Amino acid sequence: MTDYRSPLEPRTLDTAEGDAATRLAATHKALGMVPNTYGVMANSPGLLATYLDGYQWFRSASGFTPGEQEAVFLTISRFNECDYCMAAHSFIADNMSKTPIEVTDAIRDDRPIDDERFAALVGMVRSLLETRGHPAEADVAAFREAGFTDPQVLELVLAIAVKTISNWSNHLFGTPVDDTFTSRTWSVPEPV
């Protein structure tokens, strides 16, 4: 693939400035590392801040369980073909959010999901992505029938915005997957 690659270097704890430096330091303190994707986004402090603030809002106030949140992030990252975020969120799904491995692997492999609640959630996310915010009433009805709410449709819009920021930033930089996440490396499937 001959995609454009940004000539900018990822920012580090030593090279980031201002708000980006503060946020990278806080991330390092909380996680013991700075994910590579944060380093590339730190080239635009507003981009990094928007990502981190939106991510935190979604994590803390969306009403989705941690496992459901990972299913959302994986579905978006799969749609956007982001190798980095697929690996990172698969690792988080497996080790932190306790998303059922069958759900994670089904999303990774673009297969149907047996669990009805997760299937409705993933279906709603895909509908929003594929229609660019014009979901079919049947998809919204299935989402509601699975126990989700209309305000949570808006939370999915937030998740799509947040993941698009990281997915596209990673595309621009060809961000390498952190060693922590390499056990769940993923790549765009070859066309059949």
In this prediction, residue 128 carries a pLDDT of: 98
Q: Which of 73, 68, 153 is nearest to 119 (CA)?
A: 68
In this prediction, residue 192 carries a pLDDT of: 67
In this prediction, residue 178 carries a pLDDT of: 94
Asked whether residue 124 is assigned to any structural domain, the reply reads yes
Asked whether residue 133 is assigned to any structural domain, the reply reads yes
Domain that holds residue 90: 64-184
Asked whether residue 29 is assigned to any structural domain, the reply reads no
Are 76 and 164 contacting, i.e. CB atoms less than 8 angstroms apart?
yes
- What lies within 8 Å, CB to CB, of 140 at 6+ separation is 124, 127, 150, 153
CATH number at residue 155: 1.20.1290.10
The number of helices, as runs of H, and strands, as runs of E, in the chain is 9, 0
In this prediction, residue 52 carries a pLDDT of: 97
Asked whether residue 69 is assigned to any structural domain, the reply reads yes
What are the structure tokens assigned to 145, written together? 């029938």
Asked whether residue 175 is assigned to any structural domain, the reply reads yes
Asked whether residue 36 is assigned to any structural domain, the reply reads no
Half-sphere exposure (CA, 13 Å, Cβ side) for 183?
7
Asked whether residue 43 is assigned to any structural domain, the reply reads no
pLDDT in tens, 62-111: 999 999 999 999 999 999 999 999 999 999 999 999 999 999 999 999 99
pLDDT averaged per 10 residues, the chain (length 192):
84 96 97 96 97 98 98 98 97 95 97 97 98 96 98 98 98 95 89 70
Q: Which of 6, 77, 71 is nearest to 39 (CA)?
A: 6
Are 183 and 91 contacting, i.e. CB atoms less than 8 angstroms apart?
yes
In this prediction, residue 18 carries a pLDDT of: 96
Q: Answer yes or no: pTM beyond 0.85.
A: yes
Q: How many domains is the chain partitioned into structurally?
A: 1
Asked whether residue 34 is assigned to any structural domain, the reply reads no
In this prediction, residue 100 carries a pLDDT of: 96
In this prediction, residue 3 carries a pLDDT of: 78
From CA 65, how far away is CA 62, in angstroms rounded? 9
